[in-house]
C-alpha cells in the first residue's frame, strides 16, 4: 500500500514539473526587402513657375558679395543644399532621387536677391524654408551671394 502511494505522488510531481514553456518565439522577421527600384524622375517642368511677390523684388541684399560672405554661403550650401541642387547648383543629382530640384544656374540670374531671399524664407513643396534647417535670414543672404558665383560659372 505504502509503495503504491509513493509511486502515485512521484507521478504527480513529474506531472507538475512538466512546464509548458511557451517562450514567445522571437523570430525577428525584419522585412529587409528594400525595393529600391529607382522610380524614373519626372522630367516635366514644375506645375507652376515659382514667383516671389512683387514687393520682394526691391529688397536689397545687406551684405556685399565679398570673399567672406561667399565663403560663408559656400559652407552652408555645401552642408544643406547640394543634396538636392548638386555641387554646381544644376541639380545634377543621382537618378532615382524622389525630388527634382531647381537648376539654380538657370533659374537665379533673372531674379533679384530680394526675390531669391523671399523664396529661401518661404520655401515651396520639397524646397523647405531655410529656418527649417536652422539657417538664419542673414545667412540666407550669404547663400545667395554664393549661388551667384555658381550661376556666373554657368
Q: Kindly list the residues in this chain that would bind ligand HEC in the complex (CB under 6 A).
A: 46, 50, 77, 80-81, 83-85, 99, 101-102, 104, 107-108, 111, 116, 119-120, 124-127, 130, 135, 143
Burial 69-87 (b: 16+ CB within 10 A, else e): bbebbbebbeebbeebbbe
Task: Closer to ligand HEC by CB, 6 or 102: give it.
Answer: 102
Minimum CB distance to ligand HEC, residue 65 (Å):
15
Q: What's the grid cell of residue 113?
A: 536677391
Q: What's the grid cell of residue 122?
A: 518661404
Minimum CB distance to ligand HEC, residue 91 (Å):
8
Q: How many angstroms separate the CA atoms of 6 and 8, rounded?
A: 5
Task: Closer to ligand HEC by CB, 61 or 111: give it.
Answer: 111
Task: Closer to ligand HEC by CB, 6 or 133: give it.
Answer: 133
Minimum CB distance to ligand HEC, residue 39 (Å):
16
How many beta carbons lie within 10 A of that of residue 5, not counting itself?
9
Of the candidates 52, 48, 67, 64, the residue with the CA atom closest to the CA atom of residue 114: 52
Minimum CB distance to ligand HEC, residue 78 (Å):
10
Of the candidates 117, 92, 111, the residue with the CA atom closest to the CA atom of residue 49: 111
Task: Closer to ligand HEC by CB, 70 or 135: give it.
Answer: 135
Minimum CB distance to ligand HEC, residue 119 (Å):
5
Amino acid at each position: 500500500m505504502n509503495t503504491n502511494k509513493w509511486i502515485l505522488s512521484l507521478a504527480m510531481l513529474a506531472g507538475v514539473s512538466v512546464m509548458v514553456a511557451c517562450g514567445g518565439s522571437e523570430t525577428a522577421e525584419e522585412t529587409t526587402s528594400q525595393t529600391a527600384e529607382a522610380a524614373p524622375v519626372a522630367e516635366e517642368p514644375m506645375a507652376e513657375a515659382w514667383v516671389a511677390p512683387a514687393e520682394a523684388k526691391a529688397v536689397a541684399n545687406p551684405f556685399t558679395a565679398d570673399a567672406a560672405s561667399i565663403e560663408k554661403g559656400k559652407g552652408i550650401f555645401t552642408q544643406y543644399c547640394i543634396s538636392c541642387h548638386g555641387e554646381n547648383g544644376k541639380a545634377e543629382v543621382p537618378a532615382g532621387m524622389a525630388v527634382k530640384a531647381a537648376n539654380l544656374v538657370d533659374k537665379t540670374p533673372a531674379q533679384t536677391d530680394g526675390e531669391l531671399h523671399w523664396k529661401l524664407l518661404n520655401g515651396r513643396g520639397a524646397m523647405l524654408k531655410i529656418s527649417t534647417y536652422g539657417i538664419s535670414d542673414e545667412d540666407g543672404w550669404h547663400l545667395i551671394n554664393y549661388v551667384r558665383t555658381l550661376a556666373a560659372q554657368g
